[in-house]
Amino acid sequence: MLPNKLRIVVVSGTHERLQMAAMVASVGAVSGDDVMVFLSMNALPYFIKGAQQDAPAEGPVGKLLAQKNVPPFKHLFEQAVALGDAKIHPCSMAMDLLELEPAALESYMSEPLGLTKFLKECKDGQVWSF
């Protein structure tokens, strides 16, 4: 059986959306799926080395995620890479806007990609958006 091809676009900077994207990526990756994540817009700043990990909550569930010691989204993304060989790509346009170099990002991040290249990678796969 061929693995599912999961492509995840993350543009939100809220705790719930970052958490759900990380859960989809990590579960998919450890299940043997081909996982690629595209981090852009408001999501990317949380992946700068040393960045504050607490994203703002959208609602009560986001607050509970923080209170109940749920594994942090950054940890889940890192596990997706380490345990399932997922690829987590920063958006090259967002990097330009934020004036970031690849070395400023978490070590488990893959090379920056443009949207055109990412969209080509989406062919024949599931695309999730957060």
- Four-point Cα dihedral 75, 52, 116, 107, nearest 10: -50
Fold that domain 5-129 belongs to in CATH:
Hypothetical Protein Ychn; Chain: A, (3.40.1260)
pLDDT digits (tens, 9 = 90+) for 60-76: 999 999 889 899 999 99
Q: Is 119 left (phi over 0), alpha (psi -120 to 50) or beta?
A: alpha
**Amino acid 79: pLDDT:** 97
Sequence spans of domains, the chain: 5-129
Mean model confidence pLDDT for the chain: 95
SS3 label, residue 26:
helix
Distant-in-sequence, close-in-space partners of 61: CB < 8 Å, separation ≥ 6 = 16
Single pTM value for the model: 0.95
